[in-house]
Amino acid sequence: MKIIYRKQSGFTLVETLLTIFIFGLLMMGTTLMIKDIFGVSEQQNGILSNTNQATIISSTFVNELRNATYGADGSYPINQAGDNQIIFFSTAPKVNGTISKVRYYISNNTLYKGITNPAGSPLSYVGQNENITTLSTQMSMGANPLFYYYDGSYDGNGNPLGQPININVVRFVKINLIVLKKITATSNGTFTVTAGTSVRNLKDNLGN
């Protein structure tokens, strides 16, 4: 009688451990790949968010300044023209149909906007509360001015007026936003959004 011994199929301990090791490496690689994909996506979303925010800020500023007019108390349309702060009067904020005193300024790389509405009889802005809104905490201006001013000869070319600015000759203003890209938490990369407008109630030989 012939006895046939069949070899048992299955994994040895070494084979099992090797399989587990290879599987672990594959899982680790997949996890890192997914993390990188989502990380890049998050960075891109952050850049787009900052870009859109800066575009909205510049567009709103242009609209408000374009509609600058004499204040409710008779003040000149442009009240102050600094490198990092501008104050003017405008109907654009549309606060109860009045002429608002609008202030844009930057402090510690944070851009703010203040709105003051007149009250009393006669109407006055003095002593009234200023409603301040934080527009962006992602500025990276360095020594660069936030605002540039031009006189009536400006045709799209030429140097801006130097400080101190004579507000009576200002006809065109640019806002220059230098914003962090925030690709990573420690990133120093920036992009720039620039927009400008003439003041309709002051323009002479400028276009629209």
pLDDT in tens, 140-185: 998 999 999 999 999 889 999 999 999 999 999 999 999 887 655 5
- Check residue 37 and give its pLDDT: 46
Q: Would you give the end-to-end CA distance of the chain in angstroms?
A: 110
| Residue ranges with strand state E in 6-164 | 78-81, 85-90, 100-107, 110-116, 130-136, 147-150
* Residues whose CB is less than 8 angstroms from the CB of residue 71 and which lie 6 or more positions away in sequence, other chains included: 77, 79, 89, 99, 101, 118, 125
Instruction: Answer whether residue 2 shows pLDDT above 50.
Output: yes
pLDDT digits (tens, 9 = 90+) for 78-117: 999 999 999 999 998 876 678 999 999 999 999 999 999 9
- The arithmetic mean of pLDDT across residues 178-196, rounded, is 79
Instruction: Answer whether residue 136 shows pLDDT above 60.
Output: yes
- For residues 101 and 79, the answer to whether their CB atoms sit within 8 Å is yes
- Check residue 20 and give its pLDDT: 75
Strand partners, 136: 111
- Check residue 207 and give its pLDDT: 46
CA 155, 159, 160, 162 torsion-angle sign: negative
**Of 36-50, 65-79, 137-151, where does mean pLDDT reach its minimum?**
36-50
